[in-house]
Structure 1
Amino acid sequence: QTIYDISGEPGLSVIVMKKADADIIDTVDKIAEYVKGVPKRYGDDVAVTTFNDMSRFTRLRLGVLTNNGLVGLVLVFISLILFLRPSVALTTTWGLPIVFFAGLTVLYLSGVTLNLISMMGFIMVLGMLVDDAIIIGENITWHMERGLDPLKAAAKGAVELIGPVTTTILTTIAAFLPLAFMTGMIGKFIIAIPIVVITLLVFSWAEAFFILPNHVADFTRANVHPGERRWLVWLENAYGRVLKVAMKLRWLTLILSFAVLIGSGWLAMTKMSFQLFPPFGVDQFLVRVTAPPGTSVYQMRKKLVEVDAEIRKRIKPEYLDATILKSGQISVDEGDPLTQRGGRFGQIRVLYLPAVARPGHEVLDDMRVIEAALAPLFPDLEIAYTEIKPGPPTGRSLEAEISSHDPQAAEQAARNLIKLLENTKGVTTVDSGLIEGDPQVLLRVNRVLATYAGIDLATIATHIRAAVGGLVVSTTRRGSEEIDLTIRYPDNPEKQMEMLREVLIPNARGGLIPLEKIARLVEEPGLTTIRHIDGIRVVNVIADVDNAQLTSLELNRMVQKKQAQWAGDKVQVNYGGEEEKNQESFKSLFVAFGFAVVGIFFILAMQFNNLGYPLIVMLAIPFGAVGVILSFYLHDLYWKPMPLSFFSTMGMVALTGVVVNSSLVLLVFVQRAIRDGMDRFEAIQLAGRRRLRAVLLTAATTVLGLLPTAYGWGGMDHFVSPMALALSWGLAFATLVTLFTIPAALGVAFDVTSLFGRLFKTKADSGQ
């Protein structure tokens, strides 16, 4: 039996599940409209309240997308107006809403809905959509600054870059496309992101080549040819001087760059933690209450109401959504293998309002305060706390499934593991399938005496079942209703043992034998969960950790290292939970990253018709990861805990396609200058100065487009923030690499090829 209370009042809980293609906002609005009419239908004594409204997250992310999109759009326009002519800046910015609405239309017709994941795709691509338009717009501006009229400048500026810009789009698509083929739960979870990003990128390419040049030609006055702005000329000259030094010291520049790369890798492996889905944005937690054996479900309900009252005292009412009390059962989620049922078990699910309604407030801080306060108030109860993380179900920090043909060996191994976990610093909660349930009576039959008395086990089982649960002996009718007639002993738990001993069992000879003559009744604590797989006894042990002290990876490694000590050789142990999902996600991401890198290399090779240039361009990829690692480490050190997570890692994968774009266009100009007869090192410096504005603009617009989401300027979404943070800071660092490390690396490559050229020429001249 299970009893529900809602925020301390008796009630029933109804969970509404929508169809896959239903609009969650529309569905919730209709439910809310129905709820308003309940008092009219059933009177004022019946109240209906809604809680755990999942549409609020969709509304929140729509608000975040809109607000941060507008902030990002303003910042993008400001950065464009600083570098380009006003008419070019305006027409370039126009491309963003055009692409967004065109992409939304196609996605709608394709059946892609606006949900948590697809909106993350929109936020991720926000700063990328104008990159190709910026490259073309900047090139058009450069030609106009040198005297061409707008129409000719628009045509020439677009045609010059159709190859490189198309390649930049293809490399970005190559980075995102493998994400659509990721396997497992995570692959299904993120499938909408690559679909959204690729669709919008295709539209941005079309807008940049077929709409932007026409707008520039139409809205720019032909008789006005302003020269370059003074501050921009000064910036290009200053950059040229620094680049000249970097090129002279190109070997040192490259060595220092790789030293930073190696150092950041060491930092990531030794000083930083990884959590699949960090507990940011947690808006609910579970309080699990266990009373002494023998507690009835009604007694548990009274206890839960008392515990709930103490919890509510320690939470600001304006932050709290509801508390859901369930007496008679404990389950973290629907698939919890350690679901506990019985009168002595109960739970309270504490639900908070969205983060925007409680700025700066952390749910886990409340949970720790409540945990410390309730322990001395309820010494007779075992109270445990579990945070409910946002995101897809990833399991607990440690999940061990212990199995053996010998049930006692499996149970002993589980007890040893529980003891090890309880003595491990950083482990907060330990659950297992060995939790004692209500008292049970075991009937141990003496088979020798039973056989001698002429009684088989089936006869004993039938009469015990009749004594405890009753026996249907006949039926009767009341109108059209058929009613069973059942005989049973009076329901008196205090005399149940005495009653069972006096049960008479008929034998094959027609006699009646007292049960106590052939069997022994033993009362002992029962188990709440007894699991078997293919007839083999299985015991589950599950643990949670405090990530500030211990990570799931460290716990799993420690437990597996000591397995021989606590498990022995008679049991088999399978591990699952968060760490298993971590490994699965990393493997899938690694495969996606590998395909992305290979795809990008082949696209670049076709663009350059050369295998050396693509390798130089792709140097930006690992250095983009350096920016992510350093930014997360510094944020963790000086701002708030910021571990590397699945979405920050996915941001790195997406970064592979973005960071190569500026390097690609830069090296295209170098290659063209060399083909025109210019000295190789002069070509590098000329191309660097020539592309400085475009490099800074593409980086600035992408970074500024993502920063509002990364830091929540238009509303914080902890789920999306790490991905935006990784993309923005990774690209910012990669821009420095594009401006200095890539030219130095190209210069070193020219040195090496010249050295080998002279070496082979010397050998040829000597006749070798």
Structure 2
Amino acid sequence: LDGAHQSYTIAANDQIAAADAYRDLIIAYRSGAPVLLKDVADVVEGLENSKVGGWYQGTPAVIIDIQRQPGANVIETVKRIRAELPRLQRAMPVGIELTIVHDRTGTIRASVRDVQFTLVLSISLVVLVVLIFLRTIRATVIAGVALPLSLVATFGVMWFCGFSLDNLSLMALTIGTGFVIDDAIVMIENIVRHLEQGEDPMNAALLGASEIGFTVISLTMSLIAVFIPLLFMTGIVGRMFREFALTLTIAVVTSAVVSLTLTPMMCSRLLRHSQGSTGSLARWFNAAVDGSVELYRRSLEWVLRHQAATLSVTALTFAATVWLYVIVPKGFLPVQDTSLITAVTEAGPEVSFAEMQRLQDQVTAAVRRDPDVTGVVSVVGVSTMNPTPNAGRLAITLKSRDQRQAFVTEIIDRLKQAVAPIPGMVVHFQPVQDIQISTRPSRAQYQYTLTGTNAREVLDWSARLVDRLQDDARLQDVASEVQEGGLRAFVRVDRERAGRLGVSMQAINDTLYDAFGQRQISTIYGQANQYRVILEAKPEYQRDPTALAKLYVPAGVNTQTQTLSSSTSTQVILPTTSTNLVPLGAVATVERTTAPLAIMHDGQFPAATISFDL
């Protein structure tokens, strides 16, 4: 309001701020007396969705799954999250404990540490071999400097390209250690040869570099040619090995540049005419090398004298190689032990939430008894991971790899035997992998999705395909996400009778939704939280289809009604004294049938995903 001298803001107590206030809400008048909401309903503070539950170690819990943004560094992300946990714990009420169930960065850090150790070990061994064969500290220092310098330069190019030091890039550097030092060794040996022929260090370096430069370049180009196909690979393999191939290519090119520039310069400054040692160790090593050369000479003479036998052995080796390639088991990726197992639990399609929870508790108890299991997260109810109400999820945390003897596949076999005696429940286990190739939650590692325009045909053909796949001995844990056989109460409305009584289809739909759909009618806004107000029938009226006979629907064309207002656009129609109420059974019959619990879609088409393991 804006007057001549003063202005006012308008406010009203139209918002209910507590659940208790709903109990005294007047919803109708009968015989001149008000009817309060508490007279016909129970107002309770409960869960927004009572058909979803989560547990950790058998204790009710709220499960939070945190994933990094694309492009973010997972280790740094987890580090920052862990830094925030103490502050979040202090802000929680007494009795609420914040627990980290599983941290995937543990296995990542362990893998990186292993690769780092392998890289350092390979560098040390390469330098040791160079020392043994060159037999001079000066030449070894020159080759040893070329190796870390090439790697450091590679790190700079990797940073410029946006790469990180992960398992693949570190593995590329480990493999490239031998390639990186090869160019320097070739260059040093040629310069040493000129020194032994009487050239001074500067001329020896110039002559050696000019003679061997083309060889170094040709070796580098041949190595790069090997990795070029990896750069153009597509799919998951291409995404995995593109960084690997680029890192290795960068390291090889960098080593060639170092070998053509720094190595000759250091040779001209450090190498002298008096190379090598005449000590006992050097004499022993020379004798060993000479013996190896003599053994090679004799074997070469024997091969040249028996050419037919040599060619026969070569042909047999080639045939054995082809035979071994055919019989060796093949797969996309090896099974990885990340100390984490996921399980999909599945009961019959007609199971209730209470029965599903009971079966899930039995499975959880059986899994927790395994000596290698440290924690179990259990989730039941329809969610993003559970598309149907008869499915549940388990996240099983194992002891670290160094604290147990069994591999993850052996533990899965034990868990399968542990849960097998539980009637009415099927459990599918699979180890969590760092590289996931599945496109949706499934019961096994591999998936095949069948799509079509007709939902019925998709369901029928998926069942046939599952039967055929189950007969294949090469496959195991064949399962389908199709859940047929779910119980359905089909309300068949007699439209003619409903029309005579003035009952609209909208009124029937609203009545069913009010009773069983968990309709949200309002929201209570607190200082820190907000609470949804849910309308539904009492639990005793939600147990079986006979409850539908107790429902009444408003009838009459010109019915006067009042509404229960809310803070949202939703309004619940309430009958008044002038409203005619008609039993639902007067205009409809209830048929008990079966139907799929859910029909999945892929690209807007009906789809059925079949999963299996090898």
| Coarse TM-score class (shorter-chain normalised) | 0.7 to 0.9
Residue of structure 2 aligned with 1:364, choices 397, 409, 412: 409
Look up the match of 1:497.
Answer: 546
**Aligned equivalents of 2:450, 2:240: Cα separation in 1:** 30
Look up the match of 1:759.
Answer: none
Residue of structure 2 aligned with 1:352, choices 398, 415, 437: 398
**Aligned equivalents of 2:526, 2:398: Cα separation in 1:** 52
**Aligned equivalents of 1:476, 1:145: Cα separation in 2:** 91
Q: Shift of the alpha carbon at 1:516?
A: 4.0
Look up the match of 2:387.
Answer: 340
Confirm whether residue 108 of structure 1 aligns to residue 159 of structure 2.
yes
Residue of structure 2 aligned with 1:273, choices 326, 329, 352: 329
Look up the match of 1:155.
Answer: 206
Structure 2: give runs of 5+ residues left out of the alignment: 1-50, 560-579
Change beyond 3 A, Cα 1:486–1:62: closer
**Aligned equivalents of 2:171, 2:292: Cα separation in 1:** 36
**SS across alignment from 1:417:** helix
Look up the match of 2:589.
Answer: 520
Q: Shift of the alpha carbon at 1:42?
A: 3.9
Look up the match of 1:324.
Answer: 377
Change beyond 3 A, Cα 1:476–1:267: closer
**Which deviations, in whole Å up to 9, do the C-alpha atoms of 1:172-201 show, x marking residues without a partner?**
112213322322233223321122112111
Q: Shift of the alpha carbon at 1:275?
A: 0.6
**Which deviations, in whole Å up to 9, do the C-alpha atoms of 1:518-547 show, x marking residues without a partner?**
5431234553321245775433322223xx
**SS across alignment from 1:379:** coil
- Partners of 2:337 and 2:431 within 8 A in 1: no
Look up the match of 2:463.
Answer: 415
> Counterpart of 1:364 in structure 2: which amino acid?
T
**SS across alignment from 2:178:** coil
Look up the match of 2:113.
Answer: 63
Taking structure 1 as the reference length, the TM-score comes to: 0.60
> Counterpart of 1:443 in structure 2: which amino acid?
V
User: Which residues in structure 2 correspond to 1:86-125 (within 5 Å)?
Assistant: 86=136, 87-125=138-176
Q: Shift of the alpha carbon at 1:345?
A: 2.7
Change beyond 3 A, Cα 1:383–1:17: closer
Confirm whether residue 223 of structure 1 aligns to residue 274 of structure 2.
yes
Q: Shift of the alpha carbon at 1:362?
A: 0.5
- Greater relative CO, 1 or 2 (CA 8 Å, sep 6+): 1
Look up the match of 2:566.
Answer: none
- Partners of 2:347 and 2:391 within 8 A in 1: yes
**Which deviations, in whole Å up to 9, do the C-alpha atoms of 1:98-152 show, x marking residues without a partner?**
1112211232233222233323322332332112122223333444455555444
Change beyond 3 A, Cα 1:475–1:167: closer
**Aligned equivalents of 1:18, 1:54: Cα separation in 2:** 12
**Aligned equivalents of 2:393, 2:525: Cα separation in 1:** 42
Look up the match of 2:345.
Answer: 289
- Partners of 1:118 and 1:193 within 8 A in 2: yes
Confirm whether residue 310 of structure 1 aligns to residue 360 of structure 2.
no
**Which deviations, in whole Å up to 9, do the C-alpha atoms of 1:718-754 show, x marking residues without a partner?**
xxxxxxxxxxxxxxxxxxxxxxxxxxxxxxxxxxxxx
User: Which residues in structure 2 correspond to 1:74-473 (within 5 Å)?
Assistant: 74-86=124-136, 87-146=138-197, 148-224=199-275, 229-247=286-304, 253=310, 256-269=313-326, 271-292=327-348, 295-297=351-353, 300-301=356-357, 303-316=359-372, 320=374, 322-329=375-382, 339-342=386-389, 344-355=390-401, 357-358=402-403, 361-376=406-421, 378-394=422-438, 396=444, 399-436=447-484, 439-445=487-493, 460-466=508-514, 468-469=516-517
**Aligned equivalents of 1:498, 1:453: Cα separation in 2:** 22
**Aligned equivalents of 1:112, 1:394: Cα separation in 2:** 25
**Aligned equivalents of 2:536, 2:105: Cα separation in 1:** 51
**SS across alignment from 1:130:** helix
**SS across alignment from 2:155:** helix
Change beyond 3 A, Cα 1:225–1:279: closer
**Aligned equivalents of 1:479, 1:200: Cα separation in 2:** 60
Q: Shift of the alpha carbon at 1:169?
A: 0.8
**Aligned equivalents of 1:61, 1:434: Cα separation in 2:** 38
The size of the alignment, in residue pairs, is 530
**Aligned equivalents of 2:467, 2:354: Cα separation in 1:** 32
Change beyond 3 A, Cα 1:66–1:460: closer
Change beyond 3 A, Cα 1:116–1:49: farther
Q: Shift of the alpha carbon at 1:167?
A: 1.0
> Counterpart of 1:401 in structure 2: which amino acid?
T
- Partners of 2:475 and 2:613 within 8 A in 1: yes
**Which deviations, in whole Å up to 9, do the C-alpha atoms of 1:244-284 show, x marking residues without a partner?**
44456567645643442233112212x11211112133432
**Aligned equivalents of 1:288, 1:225: Cα separation in 2:** 67
**SS across alignment from 2:65:** coil
Q: Shift of the alpha carbon at 1:243?
A: 3.1
Look up the match of 1:657.
Answer: none
Look up the match of 1:4.
Answer: 54
Change beyond 3 A, Cα 1:504–1:260: same
Q: Shift of the alpha carbon at 1:349?
A: 1.0
**Which deviations, in whole Å up to 9, do the C-alpha atoms of 1:191-231 show, x marking residues without a partner?**
21122112111111112121222333433332346699233
Q: Shift of the alpha carbon at 1:437?
A: 7.7
**SS across alignment from 2:420:** helix
Change beyond 3 A, Cα 1:414–1:448: farther
Confirm whether residue 33 of structure 1 aligns to residue 77 of structure 2.
no
- Partners of 1:132 and 1:204 within 8 A in 2: yes
**Aligned equivalents of 1:305, 1:48: Cα separation in 2:** 22
Q: Shift of the alpha carbon at 1:371?
A: 1.1
**Aligned equivalents of 1:62, 1:56: Cα separation in 2:** 10
Change beyond 3 A, Cα 1:284–1:238: same
> Counterpart of 2:330 in structure 1: which amino acid?
F
**Aligned equivalents of 1:296, 1:328: Cα separation in 2:** 10
> Counterpart of 2:542 in structure 1: which amino acid?
P
Sequence identity, in percent? 19
- Partners of 2:228 and 2:245 within 8 A in 1: yes
**Aligned equivalents of 1:182, 1:244: Cα separation in 2:** 45
Structure 1: give runs of 5+ residues left out of the alignment: 546-768
Look up the match of 1:15.
Answer: 65
Taking structure 2 as the reference length, the TM-score comes to: 0.74
